Structures are given as C-alpha cells and as structure tokens.
Amino acid sequence: MTQTTRPELTKEEITKTAGMIQRSRPAYGALIDFYGQVFVAQAQSRIHIALDPIILDPALLALKQENGMPLVDPSQFLIDPAQAGILLKKLCDLSVAHAPKLAHTGEKILTALGKGKPELNPIFSVLLNNQDLEKTATLLDIPLDELTFFAFSAMAPSIQSCAVQLASYLKDAPEFKKGYCPVCGSHPDVAFLDQDGKKFLLCSLCAHEWETHRMGCVFCDSMEKEDQHYFFSSEEKEYRVYLCDNCHNYLKLVDLRKLDRSFFPKLEQISTLHLDYKAQEKGYKSPNHPPPGSTPLLA
Ligand SMILES: [Zn+2]
Ligand SMILES: [Zn+2]
C-alpha cells in the first residue's frame, strides 16, 4: 500500500511555517499564533510518548484486510496518561495566555486538575474516556466543544504514535484506496497532491496518510463526472475545494507542488477557514463537522 514518508516537522519548522502563513494571511494572525504553539507543544509531547505496541491477531488482521476494514476501532488507541496530563496543562496555560475565547475554559480545567499530577486526578481519567465528556462538561460548567478540544488535543500525540506503530501492519496490505482511514476508519479532513501529483488523504483522528484515487468523491465513491466540482481562488493556487453533488460533502485539497513552505496539514487547515465558509455557503458540509479537536474559531 502506498503511504507517504514525509518526515515529521520539528518545532522550529512548525514555528517557521506558522510565521510564513501569518505574513501571507494577516487576518489569521491571532489564530495561527495560538494554534502554532498548540502544534509545537504536541510535537514536543510526541517525543516523550512511551506506549507498548498494539499487537493485532494475524487471523483477524487477514480478515479485516480482505474486507477493506480498518486495523482498529478508535477506542483501541492507547493513551500515555502522564504525557497527556502534562500536555493538557500546557494547552490550558497557552489558552489563558493566547486565546481569550478559550481562556475561561482553560482556567476551569486547570483548577479542576489541581496542583498534583494530572494523571492521578479523577477528572483526568474521565477525560481520557470520551464517552463521559458530556458529563464532565456539565460538571465543570464549560462548553462541550471546548472540553472536547482540550481533551482531544492532549491525547492526539498518543493517538498519532499508535497510528505510526500500527501503520507497519499496512506495509504488505492489499491496495486500500478508500475514503476512510485504513488505520482507524475515521474520515479524512484534508487531502493533498504530492510532488508526483498523487492524491493522499489525511485522517482527522490519527493523522495517518494514505493514497487514494485522483478522481471521484472520497466520501461516497461517486465517479459521476457531473456530480464532481471544485472551486479555487486565483490568489491561492495551492488550494482547491472539491464538492460532491451526490453526498453534498466537501474536501479541501492542498497541492504541494504549488506550496512555497513546509506542509504542516493542521496549520493549512486552520488558515483556510474562509474556504470552509465558502463551501458551506454553497450548501456543502464536512463529514467531520466539527472535526475532532478542532474548534478554530475559539482562539
Ligand atoms: Zn485514522
Ligand atoms: Zn460524494
């Protein structure tokens, strides 16, 4: 199966890329300032993640691959509680300093976590179990989407580490050009064309990247030409937004051949919200709406 081998960006490269986007799109200045630091904190956390590998039963693996099923269910991802706890506190601190709209929630989570190790706090163990987020949001009296953002962002480095480890099971797998992630089954939240013009999708949950068909809708597999459209702006030739009239979903695509900076997908997503608005105005939706951990307007 074709997968990209793009190296992970270092914190210096993320900061540099964020600066380049800020200069070309000043309207996103404050948003990129906050999220750039969130992504740097996540990249630093990734380095320290210590998790046992997820071992898949060979018979079950063969069955899943024969049937085009993802390797795991998202609930099987492992979380490093110590690193997630450190990162959660860091993200709350960042929100207090740089994201006025999130600061109140950040402060409340910090208070709830107390002074000890976050991983020993019962509130924290509840956060690690997605099913109880709603209850915790009510308990802490904070909006659910904001709590989801903090909880997911703190767990993201663990999830991504698991996905990298699990991807080794895909090396000799049959071709998987589907619209959902071969690792965890989640939808992509952005697509890109690599330097050879091959089209890849990026998982909204585990950040795994996989190659897909160049034509047709990745969400409903429609290949009907009259159902598939796209729009772009002449000032931003590196982006296209694909629209499907069969399932009414849209997908943003970044053409790396036209990008004058390093590709850090999350930054490109945050700084192209105007394209989301335009697609939504035209009556299309994103299947990940709201994407996990993504509450960009809150900064
Ligand atoms: Zn995934
Ligand atoms: Zn479709």
Structure confidence by residue, pLDDT tens digits, 243-275: 999 999 999 999 999 998 999 999 999 999 999
Could you tell me the distance, in angstroms and rounded to a whole number, from the CA of residue 196 to the centre of ligand 2? 25
Q: What is the pLDDT of residue 57?
A: 95
CA 206 to centroid of ligand 1, rounded, Å: 4
CA of 153 to the centre of ligand 1 (A): 15
Q: Is residue 263 part of a domain?
A: yes
The segments of the chain whose pLDDT lies below 50 read: 291-299
Q: Are residues 53 and 164 in the same domain?
A: yes
Quick one: 104 and 236 in the same domain?
A: no
* CA dist list (Å): 294 to 23, 189, 240, 288: 23, 10, 20, 10
Separation of CA 285 and ligand 2 centre (Å): 11
Residues 110 and 209 in one domain: no
Q: How many angstroms does the Cα of residue 199 sit away from the middle of ligand 2?
A: 16
Give the pLDDT confidence score for residue 289 in this predicted structure: 55
Which ligand has the shortest distance to the CA of 72? Answer: 1
Paired sense of beta strands 250-255 and 199-203, if any: unpaired
Whole-number Å distance between alpha carbons of 168 and 166: 5
33 lies in the same domain as 148:
yes
Residue 46 shares a structural domain with residue 157? yes
Judge whether 14 lies within some domain.
Answer: no
Q: Is residue 110 part of a domain?
A: yes
pTM for the full predicted model: 0.91
Host domain of residue 151: 23-170
Q: Establish if 150 belongs to a structural domain.
A: yes
Are 137 and 97 found together in one domain? Answer: yes
Task: Name the domain count of the chain.
Answer: 2
Which ligand sits nearest to residue 206's alpha carbon? 1
- Does residue 18 sit within a domain? no
Side chain identity at 180, as an amino acid letter? Y
**What's residue 178's pLDDT?**
85
At 133 the pLDDT is: 81
Q: How far, in Å, from the CA of 239 to the mean position of ligand 2?
A: 19
181 Cα–ligand 2 center, Å: 16
Q: What distance in angstroms lies between residue 230's CA and the mean position of ligand 2's atoms?
A: 12
Ligand number, closest to the Cα atom of 249: 2
Nearest ligand, CA 202: 1
- HEC-encoded secondary structure of the chain: CCCCCCCCCCHHHHHHHHHHHHHHCHHHHHHHHHHHHHHHHHHHHHHHCCCCCCCCCHHHHHHHHHCCCCCCCHHHCCCCHHHHHHHHHHHHHHHHHHCHHHHHHHHHHHHHHCCCCHHHCHHHHHHHCHHHHHHHHHHHCCCHHHHHHHHHHHHHHHHHHHHHHHHHHHCCCCCCCCCCCCCCCCCEEEEEECCCCCEEEEECCCCCEEEECCCCCCCCCCCCHHHEEEEEECCEEEEEEEEECCCCEEEEEEEHHHCCCCCCHHHHHHCCHHHHHHHHHCCCECCCCCCCCCCHHHC
Which ligand lies nearest the alpha carbon of 245?
A: 2
Distance, CA of 298 to CA of 284 (rounded, Å): 22
Q: Do 48 and 163 belong together in one domain?
A: yes
CA of 62 to the centre of ligand 2 (A): 29
Regarding whether 159 and 45 lie in a shared domain, the answer is: yes
115 and 242, same domain (yes or no):
no
CATH of the domain at 263: 3.90.1670.10
User: What spacing in Å lies between the alpha carbon of 181 and ligand 1's midpoint?
Assistant: 5
* Ligand 1 center from residue 235 Cα (angstroms): 32
**Same structural domain, 110 and 150:** yes
What is the tens place of the pLDDT at every residue in 97-115? 999 999 999 999 999 888 8
Give 16 Cα–ligand 1 centroid separation in angstroms. Answer: 27
